Amino acid sequence: MTDLLRRFEGFIEPSSREWQLVSQLDSAKLPRHIAVIMDGNGRWAQGRRLPRVAGHKEGSKAVRAVIETSARLGVPVLTLYAFSAENWKRPATEVGTLMNLLEEYLRKELHTLQENDISFHAIGRIHELSASVQRELRETAAATAANRGMKLVIALNYSGRLELVDAVNRLLASDRREPITEQDLSENLYTAGLPDPDLMIRTSGEMRISNFLLWQIAYSEIYVTDVLWPDFRPAHLLEAVLNFQRRERRYGGILPASVLNTR
């Protein structure tokens, strides 16, 4: 049994689809950071003639297994796009449900974070959220700060463009005179200190980035699946990682074999 499979003992059934997928993964080629656009909650509900908020409730249930699967795989960072700065345009009841689901998740799932050695972080304009959400976020971050396993990052009231604006304004406020470098900008983003995503997953088939981690995804591999977020299961995540491992990443260069061919 591989080391990777051993980490999944008791979590997934031996000889299940998930087990087969894990057995095909290369533990040396895992993404250092997976970012997920959890899309399709509304359509999931619509397809069942349920209110949109029912889709978000079901979507929040899907979150747990994806977090635990990523942690067991040994992925260092997982970022989930839970609420964009543009999502305030939705009806107040929908916004309220999303915020309540988040608070509920944080309260109920703290033990899952602790058991899996996961530290919790929030990115976005957090200071604009309600006092109770902010308190819950702070408490979860503080309670898990000593955990050394995966970093779970939740993007809330997040906009990639605003993140860049905030970074530039921080640099302007620092009375430096030298020209700004890529490193300066990276170090002033909400994600400072985190590796850029190697893999970005979007559910529900839309081919869009939706203002998510605009700077950080410069070289990310993008994986879009038709599965709606509430239906997204560990097997779907494992399929995405396997697909990622089969890709050829060149970062604008060419592969060593191609260099030989052009001589």
Question: What residues line the site for ligand FPP (CB under 6 A)?
Answer: 38-43, 56, 59-60, 63, 80, 82, 87, 98, 101-102, 105, 154, 204, 229
We find the least distance from the C-beta atom of residue 237 to ligand FPP, in angstroms, to be 14
Q: Is 170 helix (H, G, I), strand (E, B) or coil?
A: helix
We find the least distance from the C-beta atom of residue 138 to ligand FPP, in angstroms, to be 16
Q: Which helix (H) or strand (E) holds 80?
A: strand 77-84
Our CB check for ligand FPP shows the closer of 190 and 229 to be 229
Q: Are 118 and 150 in contact (CB under 8 A)?
A: yes
Instruction: Enumerate residues 6+ apart whose C-beta is below 8 A from 79.
Output: 33, 34, 35, 36, 123, 153, 154, 155, 191, 197, 213
Question: Which region, left, alpha or beta, applies to residue 210 given φ > 0 means left and ψ of -120 to 50 means alpha?
Answer: left
Question: Which region, left, alpha or beta, applies to residue 106 given φ > 0 means left and ψ of -120 to 50 means alpha?
Answer: alpha
Would you call 184 a catalytic residue per the annotation? no
Helix-helix angle 234-245:52-73, to 10 degrees: 50
We find the least distance from the C-beta atom of residue 49 to ligand FPP, in angstroms, to be 14
* Given 3, 39, 147, 196, the catalytic residue: 39
SS3 per residue for 193-205: CCCCCCEEEECCC
Our CB check for ligand FPP shows the closer of 34 and 63 to be 63
Query: What token pair was written down for 237?
Result: 């995540």
CA distance 190 to 194: 9
Q: Which residue is nearest to ligand FPP (CB)?
A: 42
Our CB check for ligand FPP shows the closer of 208 and 250 to be 208
* Given 87, 100, 116, 243, the catalytic residue: 87
Give the residue from 37, 78, 103 showing the smallest Cα distance to 198. 78
Our CB check for ligand FPP shows the closer of 4 and 65 to be 65
We find the least distance from the C-beta atom of residue 70 to ligand FPP, in angstroms, to be 13
Q: Measured in Å, how far apart are the chain's first and last C-alpha atoms?
A: 43
We find the least distance from the C-beta atom of residue 189 to ligand FPP, in angstroms, to be 21
Would you call 41 a catalytic residue per the annotation? no
Q: Is 11 helix (H, G, I), strand (E, B) or coil?
A: coil
Our CB check for ligand FPP shows the closer of 1 and 92 to be 92
Report, as residue numbers or ranges, the catalytic residues.
39, 87
